[in-house]
Amino acid sequence: MKVPVSWLRELTSLPSSVSTEELAARLTAFDLKLEEIIGGRITGPLVVGRVLTAEPEPQKNGKTINWCRVDVGPEHNEPATEDVPAGRGIVCGAHNFGPGDLVVVSLPGTFLPAMGFEIGSRKTYGHVSDGMICSTAELGLPGDASGILVLEPGSAEPGADAVELLGLNQETLDLEVNPDRGYAWSMRGVARDTALAFGLPFEDPADIAVPEAEAEAYPVVVEDAAACPVFTTLRVSGFDPTRPTPAVIARRLVQAGMRSISLAVDVSNYVMLELGQPNHAYDAAKLKGPIRVRRAAAGERLTTLDDIDRALDPQDLLICDDDGPVGLAGVMGAARVEIDDATTDIVIEAAHFDRATIARASRRHRLSSEAARRFERGVDPTLQVRAARRVAELLVEHGGGQVEPGLTVVGEVDTRREVVLPVDLPRRIAGVESIDTDAAVRALEGNACEVRVDGESLVVVPPPWRFDINDPYDVVEEVLRVVGYDQVPSVLPQASGGRGLTRAQELRRRVGYALAGDGLVEVKTFPFAGPADFDRLGLGSDDERRRQVLLENPLSAEEPGLTTTLLTGLLRSASLNVGRGHDDVAISEVGRVFRPRSGAPAAPIYGVDRRPTPEELAVLDAALPDQPLTASWVLLGDRERGGWDGPGRPVAWADAVAVARRLADVLHVEVSVEAASLAPFHPGRCAALVLDGRVVGHAGELHPKVAEAYGLPPRAVAGEVDLDALLAAAPEIGPRPDFSAFPVAKEDLAFIVESTVPAGALQQALAEASPLIESVRLFDLYTGEPVPQGHVSLAFNVRLRADDHTLTEDEIAGARAAAVQLAADRFGATLR
């Protein structure tokens, strides 16, 4: 809400000693937060000038500037010379003006807040520019900022003070009004809060005497009284539409961010700003038959004042005459019945509409207006007759004619309600000891509430415009606002003793440290993706991961939904890093991916008057998509960099698997690896990560086409694992140490097997061949002579040990033989 300060001062008896800054600070503490103080800070010689000459001069840079001589009045002009008349020379880049035009000139020494600096004489384009010809934007005025402000011919003389002329000394408070304070969308409401904030008496500008009605003003039929509880009409006749808007009204409208259009429209808007009641002025000659308030019919259309032809919804509330709709109620009117420069007979409408009806219509049509904004937030429902009267009186005062004696009022609203609360509730909830009953009563009366103390209870009747005071705690807020939020003391509560981080929270941190410890740099990416991403990953057309949770309103059509794999974002990051010249990149992300649940129902909307049952909550959770926490990683370039002590070690598929193994290790879970073939991985270099028989992730080398699609070097690797699954499998306590103090026996076994035999499986089998085998480790892998074609030599260190004695030669030989036998039986392995 933009509040002209002089208007606010006129409506209150605020002492002139209170500065605008103090006023703003006090209102901010009163829940009317200052966004900014607009205007009023121009200093120095800002004057009217008449352009004498303007010579276009093309410049090397392609621009054409105007070299102007401007008459800025005898007081400021440089004397005439042989070549030029008295005036100042000014360079100007704009072209929307010419000789003879009246413009605004900021002479050297002028400070324009919108520019942020003081204007000086300066050499530019080969001239000394002795000031600046101003645009509306440079002057901080609203409206078209594209060119120089050209004044009406004859509206001023050169040298006149433009600050005074344009009202630039007027300050405006731009206040942020919270949605619960609809009343503050009016000067009336802001003035009342100002008076309360400074402890001043307040005279309500809405205390307007309305004469007894003698007849109907203009007939009205309200078909939907719930949506339109009050509808008032009043008439003015003999109005002179040619009369100008008084300067003060026009200026205040502009300060409030509106345009001055014509006297009738300006008065209508002015009263809306003053009292907060949106109203409408119709040309009585254009209305056919009674005004009818009804819901839209199917297929009905309306062209609103913004020239948009709108298909109406049956929920839309319309103002109609016999020829159809003349306005979307409470939002915007239609051109057909508007006031024009021939209108002499005016029908004034002031109505009250249901807040939700207007809010929905405004949202449905994506049409916000000054009126809709106020109706949505709540307008005083008892104000309509007085507001219509105020409009009529102002029209007559400034436009002539007379207010017709008739008055039409359809409907009435009874907003009276009592809020009952314990007298000590404000003190208890605010935590401010000084709030006693008297303080509470005073604060509430200042808010125009009726207050009564009834034993231990406070009975509060809020005024009709306070839609926000319904509950005891609402009353507490109003009291605290007056007492002051700065009065709240600081008391640290004693929490009841928490159990610290949950196991899952601790383990998640462990995962983060493990990834960083493995040399991976954590990144964060937006979880949005689309088919183009999945194409780049090479996902098949029937790949599950193409099924996304889609969004109604995605930011970009290319990313219509949530991602199903962190690799969409991570590979983009990898690509960015490569593009920025990083040769070796190791990055990871931990975040959620989203998978729609097939056949999930819609999430129910429960009431809010009670807690939903556990069953109801379960239904709600069942509707949500799966959103498992996932860890993902991408490595490329060298895993270890080359240096003075040796060459680098390039990233290989095994590095991707190693990251998964590290995660499994730090969580004490057993993850095994199986060969797999899945996009976006190389079909022969992809490991499935298996936990308890279930595939929980994949790791390996990226498919060469995928690496290419992302602009990554060949052999880049990646991995992704369902972290929730790993966390769920992590034991409460890690394994206990279990080792024997008896001597170890070491045996090396080298086998020749067919190349198709998985080395991991053979190693696993050897480890289980005898209870005496403590560990098995592959230490050599060899192909080539003398190993036959299609075969491979695998050499293992086998360590044997018993728990309770030193192994005998026979025991060692037995275990060795068992291992060899098993390798032969299960894998066709022959001892080398």
> Which residues, numbered 466-525, are part of the site for another protein (CB under 8 A)?
471-474, 476-477, 480-481, 485-486, 488-502, 505, 509, 512-513, 515-525
Binding positions for another protein, 105-144, rule CB under 8 A: none
- Smallest gap from Cβ 663 to another protein, in A, equals 13
For residue 598, state whether it binds another protein (rule: CB under 8 A): no
Binding positions for another protein, 558-587, rule CB under 8 A: 561-562, 569-570, 572-574, 576-577, 580, 582, 584-587
Query: Among residues 473 and 782, whose Cβ is nearest to another protein?
Result: 473
- Smallest gap from Cβ 635 to another protein, in A, equals 9
Phi, psi (rounded to 5 degrees) for 444 = -70, -40
- Smallest gap from Cβ 473 to another protein, in A, equals 4
Residue 307 CA from chain centroid, whole number: 29
For residue 226, state whether it binds another protein (rule: CB under 8 A): no
- Smallest gap from Cβ 581 to another protein, in A, equals 10
Binding positions for another protein, 403-432, rule CB under 8 A: 428-432
- The token pair at 375 is 């109706």
Residue from 367, 396, 620, 654 in contact with another protein (CB under 8 A):
620
Residue from 95, 417, 452, 641 in contact with another protein (CB under 8 A):
641
For residue 606, state whether it binds another protein (rule: CB under 8 A): yes
Residue from 18, 29, 86, 676 in contact with another protein (CB under 8 A):
29
Binding positions for another protein, 659-688, rule CB under 8 A: none
Report long-range pairs for 191-194 (Cβ below 8 Å, ≥24 apart): 191/8, 191/11, 191/12, 192/448, 193/27, 193/30, 193/32, 194/8, 194/12, 194/14, 194/23, 194/26, 194/27
Query: Among residues 497 and 735, whose Cβ is nearest to another protein?
Result: 497
- Smallest gap from Cβ 51 to another protein, in A, equals 39
Q: What is the distance between the alpha carbons of residues 281 and 80, in angstroms, rounded to a whole number?
A: 54
Task: Show Cβ contacts of residue 181 under 8 Å, excluding neighbours closer than 6 positions.
Answer: 31, 32, 189, 377, 468
- Smallest gap from Cβ 294 to another protein, in A, equals 21
Residue from 11, 24, 31, 727 in contact with another protein (CB under 8 A):
31
- Smallest gap from Cβ 669 to another protein, in A, equals 21
Q: Count other C-beta atoms under 10 Å from residue 293's C-beta.
A: 24
- The three-state secondary structure class of 111 is strand
**3-state secondary structure labels for all residues of 249-294:** HHHHHHHCCCCCCCHHHHHHHHHHHHHCCCEEEEECCCCCCCEEEE
Query: Among residues 228 and 271, whose Cβ is nearest to another protein?
Result: 228
From 395-403, 603-611, 764-772, 785-793, give the range in contact with another protein by CB under 8 A.
603-611
Residue with tokens 């009022």: 409
Binding positions for another protein, 521-560, rule CB under 8 A: 521-528, 549-555
Q: What is the distance between the alpha carbons of residues 780 and 698, in angstroms, rounded to a whole number?
A: 26
Residue from 26, 33, 546, 668 in contact with another protein (CB under 8 A):
33
- Smallest gap from Cβ 777 to another protein, in A, equals 23
Residue from 37, 594, 658, 675 in contact with another protein (CB under 8 A):
594
Helix pair 263-275, 370-377: axis angle to 10 deg: 20
- Smallest gap from Cβ 638 to another protein, in A, equals 8
Burial of 33 per CB tally in 10 Å (0-12, 13-18, 19+): middle
Q: What is the distance between the alpha carbons of residues 689 and 691, in angstroms, rounded to a whole number?
A: 7
For residue 93, state whether it binds another protein (rule: CB under 8 A): no
For residue 200, state whether it binds another protein (rule: CB under 8 A): no
Q: Count other C-beta atoms under 10 Å from residue 670's C-beta.
A: 10
For residue 436, state whether it binds another protein (rule: CB under 8 A): no
**Given the DSSP bridges, would you call strands 32-38 and 638-640 parallel, antiparallel or unpaired?**
unpaired
For residue 80, state whether it binds another protein (rule: CB under 8 A): no
Strand order across the 773-782 sheet: 773-782, 791-800, 745-754, 830-831
For residue 652, state whether it binds another protein (rule: CB under 8 A): no
- Smallest gap from Cβ 625 to another protein, in A, equals 5
- Smallest gap from Cβ 229 to another protein, in A, equals 16
- Smallest gap from Cβ 586 to another protein, in A, equals 5
Query: Among residues 507 and 753, whose Cβ is nearest to another protein?
Result: 507
Binding mask 719-758 for another protein (x = CB under 8 A): ----------------------------------------
Residues paired with 746 in a beta bridge: 799
Binding positions for another protein, 321-360, rule CB under 8 A: 355-356, 359-360
Residue from 6, 627, 775, 793 in contact with another protein (CB under 8 A):
627
Q: What is the distance between the alpha carbons of residues 212 and 406, in angstroms, rounded to a whole number?
A: 9
Residue from 180, 345, 370, 543 in contact with another protein (CB under 8 A):
180
143: alpha, beta or left? (left if phi > 0; alpha if psi -120 to 50):
left
- Smallest gap from Cβ 648 to another protein, in A, equals 8
User: Do the beta carbons of residue 741 and residue 760 sit within 8 Å?
Assistant: no
Residues paired with 638 in a beta bridge: 650
- Smallest gap from Cβ 376 to another protein, in A, equals 6
- The token pair at 176 is 């942020």
- Give Rg (Cα) of the chain: 40
Binding positions for another protein, 361-380, rule CB under 8 A: 363, 376-377
For residue 456, state whether it binds another protein (rule: CB under 8 A): no
Query: Among residues 297 and 356, whose Cβ is nearest to another protein?
Result: 356
Residue from 56, 58, 299, 643 in contact with another protein (CB under 8 A):
643
Q: What is the distance between the alpha carbons of residues 688 and 720, in angstroms, rounded to a whole number?
A: 10
From 347, 225, 351, select the one nearest 290 (Cα to Cα): 347
Query: Among residues 134 and 507, whose Cβ is nearest to another protein?
Result: 507
Q: For residue 613, what is the DSSP state?
A: P
What does 188-209 look like in DSSP terms, one character per residue? Answer: HHHHHHHHHHTT-----TT---
> Within 13 Å and on the Cβ side, how many CA atoms surround 677?
3
Q: What is the distance between the alpha carbons of residues 464 and 183, in angstroms, rounded to a whole number?
A: 10
For residue 210, state whether it binds another protein (rule: CB under 8 A): no
Q: What is the distance between the alpha carbons of residues 302 and 313, in angstroms, rounded to a whole number?
A: 11
Query: Among residues 78 and 224, whose Cβ is nearest to another protein?
Result: 224
Query: Among residues 295 and 582, whose Cβ is nearest to another protein?
Result: 582
Residue with tokens 């319904």: 470
- Smallest gap from Cβ 38 to another protein, in A, equals 17
Binding positions for another protein, 763-822, rule CB under 8 A: none
- Smallest gap from Cβ 369 to another protein, in A, equals 14
For residue 181, state whether it binds another protein (rule: CB under 8 A): yes
For residue 215, state whether it binds another protein (rule: CB under 8 A): no
- Smallest gap from Cβ 40 to another protein, in A, equals 18
- Smallest gap from Cβ 234 to another protein, in A, equals 30
Q: What is the distance between the alpha carbons of residues 823 and 766, in angstroms, rounded to a whole number?
A: 7
**Given the DSSP bridges, would you call strands 220-222 and 291-295 parallel, antiparallel or unpaired?**
parallel
For residue 28, state whether it binds another protein (rule: CB under 8 A): yes
Phi, psi (rounded to 5 degrees) for 714 = -60, 155
From 331, 334, 335, select the one nearest 362 (Cα to Cα): 331
Residue 765 CA from chain centroid, whole number: 58
From 178-186, 696-704, 775-783, 805-813, give the range in contact with another protein by CB under 8 A.
178-186
Question: How many binding residues for another protein (CB under 8 A)?
Answer: 115
